[in-house]
Structure 1
Amino acid sequence: MKMLTHYRKKFAVYASAITLGVSAALAVSPAAAQDTFTWKVQSHWPGSSSSYEDSLVRLKNVIEERTDGRLKLQLYESGALFKAQETFNAVSRGILEMGTISPAYAQDKISLAGIASGLPFAFRNVWEAAYFHQNLGFEQMLRDEAAEHGVYWATDKVYPTEMVVKNPINSWEDFTKLKIRSSGALQKFLTEAGAAASYIPGGELYTALDSGVVDGAHWGAAQGASSMGLYEVAKYHVQPGLNIAGTDAIIVSQKALDKLPEDMQKIVKQALDEQFWVRTNEYLYKERITLAKAIAEDGVEINTLPDDVQDRLVKTAQSMWDEEGKRSENAQKALDMLKSYLTDLGYL
């Protein structure tokens, strides 16, 4: 009898311990499951830019939905926290958890930035640039360079960059008289080609074009021009494009990424990989319908550059490509890969 009583007492102790353990687990698990992270995201796009809504807000919604709200993105438009050119450093140092930039804004850190932001007159179709990034390994090369600065790099999309101008370009003389808002490698290219190119932040672009500070500008292509109101003051849409490239990139602080639970890290990376394909294809579709609408409703006209102007621009462009290769061994490797690819396509 005493032995039975002893075992009953011992069982009661074990049962109590198990109950306390389960209770503690239940008390901790919901709290852990509800842990949330809020990332500050500084964009280089003004709120009025089509990509702010279509790229950045889309990404915010996807990540928040797939993490069940555990990771929230607090968005800031261009200039709200930092100047666009300072965003890379802010993300690198962990002051910002995420940002969007043009690769041109990180040229002092990323030797591949000039190639990423688009060598002029290299690709002729968007799929060619997408294949170069994702299938030939250029995206991974960018990611590896950015990692050296504590940054996880993801190209948002590849798309053409096309100018709008206030007066048509009908001759080489017309081109060389232009004052153009530009940035990065294209700014250097347009200047070397004979135009006067200068950088103007997105928030000041419409006023600069309207007041005559510049005669033309590029902000993406048709969607960018339309969303920024540029067609109101510049009725000529110039083709062919200056380049086709990964002109926008999403950058993430590696420190911030490492602090997330493993499942959330995977969600973020998968969302960024998916973003490239969704936005590249969506952009092409919207380009076509946006330009058609601008022609029909806003009186915009296509200004196709004369052959002699195109020939001169191509020669200037190709002479510049080699300069980008001199930035580093990595840049030369990427340039050699690009030239080989263009040769396979029959362009060189």
Structure 2
Amino acid sequence: MTLSFKTLAGTALAASLMMTSPLIANAQEFTLKVQSSDAAGVPNFVIEQEWAARVGKMSGGRIAVEMLPVNSVVEHAETQDAIAAGIIDGHITDTSYFTGKDPAFGLIANPVGAWSAPSEMLRFVEYGGGKELMNEMLEPYGLHFIGAVTPGLEAFVSSKPLDGVADLKGLKMRAPEGMVQEVFAAAGASPVNIPQSEVFTSLDKKVIDAADATVFSTNQAMGLHDVAKHPVYPGFHSMPMLEVSVNKEKWDSMPEDLQTILEVSVRDLARDMDAQLAMKDMEAVAKARAEGGVTIHNWSAEERNKFRKIATSQWEKVAGRSENAQKVYDTLVKYLTAQGMI
């Protein structure tokens, strides 16, 4: 049962006072309680637990990371405040959960249409200004951003052949409210808000022709390809960024070698998560092709760029909603332009 935020904050304060004792300070050991946005047992959480074990080995036991499943200490949208208060020490979570605090979090977390592969997003974060932006936005809230990971690019479910932007015109499709709907509408589609649980029935009864659902392997496991036999894979529209962040005071108290270990380990976690989850998708794709009856469409780089250019007009609307959102927009567009992606 999740305890109240105030109760946990009081407990955290008492614990922090105890941690100021010279004995503990001299031990140079750090325990990090990190809450995930994933449930216990799902592949993402298992991969995160493996990362936690590696950090312990890499640091010679000087860092102990305890991975906690979603909502185990606080609700998933409260982790940012809980880290600042010392209730937990860090999180691996979707940055868009904090869009209510600043629209910039939603824009950097999932700029719809920006990425066609995890490597593109990770390059932006590490070398294109994303990491610096995240710390500029998070540090006022008492957090330090270590790095980013992602569960991968979502596939697109369709009962009609889709080989490019032109095929989206008039397409009846399911999309969640917000920027995803706005981008698809700007591309000529007719998006509607339907719960994930109703996607199969809506496709089967031809209420919709297509859907923004999730990754290929999960879409297949849910039977969506039985009623929508023209999936687009790899997808072209959505890939969430999961941030790995910790309490800034705790980060600042760590020696440089331990900070470096965490930074390098998160880069490895990103590669590990991408590789393991991509393997599941590729196995599902191979099975779908072997069984027949499904035609998998893969958009060209040119068509992906067309969709990305349409998406930028919607990013620009978000940019006007806060100073940080404008910084995200400017940095993102500059990076994509330099990379020849728009």
Q: TM-score, normalised by structure 1?
A: 0.68
How far the C-alpha of 1:296 sits from its partner, in A, is 3.5
How far the C-alpha of 1:115 sits from its partner, in A, is 3.1
User: For residue 23 of structure 1, what is the aligned residue in structure 2?
Assistant: none
1:95 aligned counterpart, secondary structure: coil
Q: Separation in 2 of the partners of 1:36 and 1:288?
A: 38
Aligned: 1:82 with 2:74: yes
Match of 2:106 among 103, 114, 120: 114
Greater strand share, structure number: 1
C-alpha spacing 1:127/1:60, structure 2 compared with 1 (3 Å): closer
* One-letter amino acid matched to 2:153: P
Is this contact kept in 2: 1:163–1:218, CA < 8 A? yes
How far the C-alpha of 1:321 sits from its partner, in A, is 1.9
Is this contact kept in 1: 2:83–2:90, CA < 8 A? yes
User: For residue 179 of structure 1, what is the aligned residue in structure 2?
Assistant: 174
User: For residue 195 of structure 1, what is the aligned residue in structure 2?
Assistant: 191
C-alpha spacing 1:82/1:268, structure 2 compared with 1 (3 Å): same
Is this contact kept in 2: 1:117–1:184, CA < 8 A? no
Aligned: 1:317 with 2:311: yes
C-alpha spacing 1:326/1:188, structure 2 compared with 1 (3 Å): same
How far the C-alpha of 1:305 sits from its partner, in A, is 7.9
Larger radius of gyration, structure 1 or 2? 1
Aligned: 1:50 with 2:43: yes
Q: TM-score, normalised by structure 2?
A: 0.69
How far the C-alpha of 1:32 sits from its partner, in A, is 6.1
- The CA deviation string for residues 46-96 of structure 1, in whole angstroms up to 9 with x for no partner, is 335432222x12321111222334433333323333332222232233222
Match of 1:98 among 82, 87, 90: 90
Is this contact kept in 1: 2:116–2:236, CA < 8 A? no
C-alpha spacing 1:332/1:300, structure 2 compared with 1 (3 Å): same
User: For residue 337 of structure 1, what is the aligned residue in structure 2?
Assistant: 331
Indicate the percent of aligned positions where both proteins have the same amino acid.
20
User: For residue 140 of structure 1, what is the aligned residue in structure 2?
Assistant: 132
C-alpha spacing 1:235/1:335, structure 2 compared with 1 (3 Å): same
Match of 1:65 among 49, 57, 69: 57
C-alpha spacing 1:45/1:30, structure 2 compared with 1 (3 Å): closer
C-alpha spacing 1:262/1:300, structure 2 compared with 1 (3 Å): same
2:44 aligned counterpart, secondary structure: helix
Q: Separation in 1 of the partners of 2:50 and 2:111?
A: 28
Q: Separation in 1 of the partners of 2:24 and 2:136?
A: 37
User: For residue 130 of structure 1, what is the aligned residue in structure 2?
Assistant: 122
> Equivalences for 1:1-348 in 2 at 5 Å?
37=31, 39=33, 41-54=34-47, 56-153=48-145, 154-157=147-150, 159-164=152-157, 167-168=159-160, 172=168, 175-176=171-172, 178-180=173-175, 182=176, 185-186=179-180, 189-190=183-184, 193-197=189-193, 207=197, 209=199, 216-219=211-214, 221-222=215-216, 225=219, 236=229, 237-239=231-233, 241-243=235-237, 245=239, 247-258=241-252, 260=254, 263-280=257-274, 284=278, 287-296=281-290, 301-302=295-296, 316-348=310-342
Give the unaligned 5+ runs of structure 2.
1-21
1:195 aligned counterpart, secondary structure: strand
Q: Separation in 2 of the partners of 1:187 and 1:48?
A: 31
How far the C-alpha of 1:169 sits from its partner, in A, is 6.2
1:152 aligned counterpart, secondary structure: strand
1:65 aligned counterpart, secondary structure: helix
Give the unaligned 5+ runs of structure 1.
1-27
C-alpha spacing 1:267/1:293, structure 2 compared with 1 (3 Å): same
Q: Separation in 1 of the partners of 2:110 and 2:88?
A: 26
Is this contact kept in 2: 1:118–1:186, CA < 8 A? no
How far the C-alpha of 1:322 sits from its partner, in A, is 0.7
2:72 aligned counterpart, secondary structure: coil
* One-letter amino acid matched to 1:319: S
C-alpha spacing 1:283/1:316, structure 2 compared with 1 (3 Å): same
Is this contact kept in 1: 2:82–2:88, CA < 8 A? yes
C-alpha spacing 1:293/1:128, structure 2 compared with 1 (3 Å): same
| Paired residue total | 306
How far the C-alpha of 1:230 sits from its partner, in A, is 6.3
Q: Separation in 2 of the partners of 1:81 and 1:29?
A: 28
- The CA deviation string for residues 179-207 of structure 1, in whole angstroms up to 9 with x for no partner, is 34x47643554577531236x7xxxx5x5
Moved more, 277-286 or 325-334: 277-286
Q: CA RMSD in A?
A: 4.2
* One-letter amino acid matched to 2:73: L
User: For residue 18 of structure 2, what is the aligned residue in structure 1?
Assistant: none
Moved more, 286-295 or 146-155: 286-295
